[in-house]
Every structure is written in structure tokens, then in C-alpha cells.
Structure 1
Amino acid sequence: MQQPAKFDILCIGSVLWDVIGRCSQDMRQGSDMPGRITRLPGGVAMNIAMTLVRFGLTPSVLTAIGRDPEGDELITACQRLGVTTGMAYRSDDLPTDRYMAVEGANGLIAAIADAHSLEAAGDKILRPLTDGTLGSARAPFAGPIALDGNLTLTLLDDIARHPAFARADLRVAPASPGKAERLRPFLSASHGTLYVNLEEAGYLCQSTFTSSHTAAIAMIDRGAARVLVTDGGASATEARTGADPITLIPPRVQVARVTGAGDTFMAAHIAADLGGASRHDALKAALHAAATYVSGEPPL
């Protein structure tokens, strides 16, 4: 069996092409404005992986990428960015996924995620963790895993309970507020660290929250082992079973971009955590990185 390339963390989920249109002026529904359109590697798992690279870590992605020209280009782009793709599932009949968003000076206007190939691939993307390449039910993988909510509810439920993941340091984030409820298996299984914003916490708890602190406590009460809840520029809270919550206020910055801010926060926190930072310092580092990112500067 061929040995996988060395890596520090697995990133499981969407790796696709991000097509982002940005305008420097405020926009509303129906606006037709000048701006810039870019195509870059993206997806929640890839955004986290790229940010982890900036913190000196080597991530490897478990995802579905088509054997089409767009997929070949994506593989090359990932490798150029320092993200290993040798264990990614390459499909002959599924196209490479895409995400399209429009942003104005007033934030995200609209977005569409076409991640149907990832959903269709199902548990094929997890084979290295169950077939003995990296682990199996009898010898579970014991390293860190960043997991995004673009997977199906069935697959996420399986990951939350499967013995092959029992020893993994799972870090889980929804792909969008609309998919937040897919993370409910990790509440009932009390497994993993959940990274959500205030709206996503509300979906998970079927409630409405006015602060990250109250949302984090509610998620712990519902069974979560550990959570990080963000509330834009207002606050962020880290909470875990058996310890007092920690709430900090992010630095104030001029917002220049939005897409990817949550992924940057999560990646920065993981990097600080794995580096041995205290709970307070890890949260502070994540907030600083996210604030720097939304201001338009690199997160380091």
C-alpha cells in the first residue's frame, strides 16, 4: 500500500472553485455594478486548509474532485498552495464542485454552493480512515480532523458515532447557516469541537440568542462537548463541559471582505490550540486572525 504524504491535520469536506464577484460600493438585490471577479480554490475544508498552511501546518484534504479539466486544475492549485491531495477521491462521473458569491461594501449579497458531487460521493471520501491507510474501526485515527458541514446528515451522523473516529480530535463547522442542523449528531454524541456563529447556534438549538455567551452555554447544555460561538464584531465565546465559558470582544476593523472569515477564525484557533496555547490565548489569536482577514490583510 502506498504511504500517504506527511501531514499535520486532515481537512474533510468541500474543496471546489470559488467564483467571487466583489464591488467596492454598497449593493442591494438587483444591483448591476462594476467590480472584480476572481476564481480561486475554495470550499470550507479548503479555506481552512489554506489558512492552516499560513500558520505553518501541512493539511491533507479528504474530498471529492472530478476527473475533469476543472478538477485537474484544482488539484494543481491545491498542491501549489501547500495542501496535499493524494488521498482525495477522484470521480470519473461527478463534476468538480463550485461556489459562487457576490459581495458589496455592505457585505455578502448572495451566494450559491454547488456541492452536489461531494454529497453524491458519500463515504467514499472517508476510505483512508476506514480501510487501514490512516486508520480503521479497530485502530482509529488519533490526529486532528477539521470537518465541514457540506457532507450529508447521514454521513455526519456516521462520523459522530463510527468507531474509526472515536479517538480523532474532531473540529466541526457548518458550511452555512442553512446546513447548521446537520451538526446535531455531534451534540447528541458529545463528540468534537463545534465552530458556529450566533445564527447557526440558533438553528442547532431551535432557539434565538442575543449573545455568543448564552448561545455557547445552551449548546453545552444540549450535549456539546466543546463549542466556539462567534457573533460578528460583538463577541466570541469558547465553552466546554466542566469549565467556565470564556468570552472575548474582537478587535474593531474596517470590513473589506466577508467570505472566508469564519474559516480563518476556525483555522487560527486550531493552529493555536495544537500549538499548546491556553483557552484564552487560542481564542484571542483566532479573533485577531479573523479581524485581520476581514480588514483585507493576510491573517498573519
Structure 2
Amino acid sequence: MEQMKRSHTPKVVCFGEILWDVLPDVRNPGGAPMNVAYHLNKLGIAVDLLSSVGYDQAGDDLIAFLQSGGISSTLVQRSSVYATSEVLARISENHEVTYDIVKPVAWDQINYTVEMGKAVAQADAIVFGSLSAREQVTRKTLYSLIESARYRVFDVNLRAPHYSDEIIIDLLKKADMVKLNLSELLLIVRWLSTVQITDEVQAVELLFSRFEIQEVLITKGGKGATYYSRQIRYDYPTYAIEVADTIGSGDAFLAAFLAMKLAGEPLEVILDYAVAMGAFITSQSGACPNYSKFDLERFIWKKKYMDFASAS
């Protein structure tokens, strides 16, 4: 796996939606790019968040949340036309989450600025998803920013009906690394092949053959994760936990993966930290619970100690 260790403090740009996840009894800040930014910041990575909120109370509250966590809101635009995004989230008995995503909202209208371009050009990586590309204005801005990025991380989040195969394939053409789940992988390869592919390895090989992607990261919930480069495959199990909800667990996983990758850690350490972070967030309510890096590392130590003790 390509090492990204640098002499300076690593910096990541997260581009796209920020919103409120509205649950029956609580409203939590969310949106995949913001969740990734939140956890990167917790892990000591400098972050620029590129998004937009409305001139409304919901927007004021999101800006206040970012600032309270030490995340810069300088590049979060304010729209006088479109409202801040609020998403109705429903959690089923088996902890699966579905979303009712309204449009258009402020993050559908993120306009390119010179300051955004500079932030991306100076960062070690840009993280972007598929949801924010659903409308032309934000999609055009994203395409412009990607051109100057050093390392492009495509976090696939297929939320029907807010995507098309054409746009997803476009984004795959622009990515260095792709993070997705198994069902998303198999859906994408159905668009790419006239032959039905149900095997994970064959599906990943098809991505590598069709695009310039260098790494594929597949999240598998309670079964952990699998990492692919063009040379290797690495399966890594997760930690057993009691699930609170799964909102944002994949975003937390990605943030930890990138934080360790930017620190130049070996692949096994990177994946261990990433699956631990995903499990840690799944054991709590909401995508962005309040915690410290020490809390995460204590969680990892306890899990490893308990596993060792039970094995003995």
C-alpha cells in the first residue's frame, strides 16, 4: 500500500453534504463528509470542510457544532435561497438505517471559490461522496476541485433515488481510492459488465481493469472490512460490540483509515484502528458522539484484553 507519511501535519479536505439527522427522539449533526471531518479532527488531522448551509436556525446550529468541536467553518457557504438540509432517519429493529433526503437544499448549491481550490491543492487528500453530486451546481464544483487534488478518496453512499450510474462511473474515473460496501460494489459492477458477477474478488478486479483506482476498501459491518490494492488483498475482522445504531459507522471507519494511512502506519495497524473506530461509534448513539482519542484507544485496549482473557 502506498505510504503517505509526510514531514508536515497531514490535512484532508472533506467535500459535500452537512445536515441534521432527525430521529424520532433526537436531532444529530450528520452528513458523510462532515462525519469524516469530525472524526479526522478527533484523531489530530487538520480538516477543511467544504459545504453549504442556509441562513436559518438549523444552519446556525450546524456552524456552532463545528466551531465547538474545533472544525473550521470558513469554507462552509451560507445560502439565502436554500434551507439547511434535514434528513429523516429511521432505524429498524435490526439496526438498519433508512433516510428520507429532501432536495434541493443548501449543499446542492456549493459554488466554486478560489479559496476552495487552494485548500484542495494544499491538502494531502480530498474525500467526496456520491450524494453531493446529485445536482449540477455542486457536481460541477466537485469536478473542478478534484482536478487539483493530490489523492482522491471516493466514499460511495448510494441513496436511492439520489444517484445515477452515469455519475457514479464518472466519479470512479476520478478516484484513487474507493470505499463502499459489498452491495454497492455488486450493483456498480452490474452497470459495467454484461456478464453477471457475484464474486467479490472478480468485482474488484473489474474495477481495477476499468478505472485508474489504486485501492478499494469494502466495509462489511459485523464481518469487518477487506482492503484491496492492485497487488494484495487483506481481510480484517471487527470487534464484537453491542450495537446502539449504525449511523456514521462507515464514515468513522474511513476517517480512522485515512488518519493512520497519513501517519504512514503499516496496513495491519491501519485496518485494526479503522475497524475499531467503526465498532466504537456503532456502540454509541449518533454519528458524532463526544469522545477523545484516548477514549478510542482505551476501547481498543479493553477489547484486545478481553479477547485475550477469554481465549486463555
TM-score range, shorter chain: 0.7 to 0.9
Distance 1:70 1:196 in 2: 29
Aligned to 2:153: 171
Deviation at 1:110, TM superposition (A): 3.1
Amino acid at match of 2:183: E
- Higher RCO, 1 vs 2 (CA within 8 Å, ≥6 residues apart): 2
Amino acid at match of 1:8: K
Superposed counterparts of 1:18-167, under 5 Å:
18-21=21-24, 37-108=25-96, 110-114=98-102, 116-118=104-106, 120-122=108-110, 124-125=111-112, 127-130=114-117, 133-134=118-119, 140-152=121-133, 162=144, 165-167=147-149
Amino acid at match of 2:170: P
**CA displacement, residues 91-147 of structure 1 (integer Å, 9 cap, x when unaligned):** 11111011121214411253212352245414x0565334xx436xxxx44522121
Within the candidate set 190, 198, 205, 1:206 is matched to: 190
**CA displacement, residues 27-78 of structure 1 (integer Å, 9 cap, x when unaligned):** xxxxxxxxxx111211111111111122122322100111112211211111
From the superposition, tell whether residues 90 and 14 of structure 1 become closer, same or farther in structure 2 (CA, over 3 Å): same
From the superposition, tell whether residues 247 and 211 of structure 1 become closer, same or farther in structure 2 (CA, over 3 Å): farther
From the superposition, tell whether residues 277 and 267 of structure 1 become closer, same or farther in structure 2 (CA, over 3 Å): same
Deviation at 1:240, TM superposition (A): 2.2
SS in 1 for 2:40: helix
Distance 2:221 2:79 in 1: 37
Looking at secondary structure, tell me which structure has more helix per residue: 2
Amino acid at match of 1:50: Y
SS in 2 for 1:233: helix
| Corresponding residue pairs, total | 271
Any conservation in 2 of the 1:10–1:59 contact (CA below 8 Å)? yes
Deviation at 1:167, TM superposition (A): 3.9
Amino acid at match of 2:282: V
Amino acid at match of 2:152: L
Q: Which runs of 5+ in 2 are unaligned?
A: 1-8, 286-290, 297-312
Distance 2:126 2:275 in 1: 21
From the superposition, tell whether residues 203 and 125 of structure 1 become closer, same or farther in structure 2 (CA, over 3 Å): farther
Amino acid at match of 2:75: M
From the superposition, tell whether residues 7 and 112 of structure 1 become closer, same or farther in structure 2 (CA, over 3 Å): farther
Distance 1:284 1:254 in 2: 18
Amino acid at match of 1:16: L
Q: Which runs of 5+ in 1 are unaligned?
A: 1-5, 22-36
Q: 85-94 or 252-261, which moves further after superposition?
A: 252-261
From the superposition, tell whether residues 76 and 142 of structure 1 become closer, same or farther in structure 2 (CA, over 3 Å): closer
Aligned to 1:183: 168
Aligned to 1:192: 176
Amino acid at match of 1:85: S
Distance 1:247 1:155 in 2: 38
Deviation at 1:83, TM superposition (A): 1.4
TM-score, with structure 2 as normaliser: 0.76
Any conservation in 1 of the 2:83–2:106 contact (CA below 8 Å)? no
SS in 2 for 1:175: coil
TM-score, with structure 1 as normaliser: 0.78
From the superposition, tell whether residues 210 and 253 of structure 1 become closer, same or farther in structure 2 (CA, over 3 Å): farther
Within the candidate set 208, 219, 227, 2:216 is matched to: 227
**CA displacement, residues 131-179 of structure 1 (integer Å, 9 cap, x when unaligned):** xx436xxxx4452212122222557875786486344222221233534
From the superposition, tell whether residues 67 and 219 of structure 1 become closer, same or farther in structure 2 (CA, over 3 Å): same
Distance 2:97 2:146 in 1: 40
From the superposition, tell whether residues 216 and 250 of structure 1 become closer, same or farther in structure 2 (CA, over 3 Å): farther
Amino acid at match of 1:279: L
Deviation at 1:226, TM superposition (A): 1.7
**CA displacement, residues 243-270 of structure 1 (integer Å, 9 cap, x when unaligned):** 1122222223232211111111111101
Asked if residue 273 in structure 1 is aligned to residue 261 in structure 2, the reply is yes
Distance 1:160 1:88 in 2: 14
Amino acid at match of 1:78: L
Deviation at 1:284, TM superposition (A): 2.1
Any conservation in 1 of the 2:129–2:156 contact (CA below 8 Å)? yes
Any conservation in 1 of the 2:11–2:123 contact (CA below 8 Å)? no
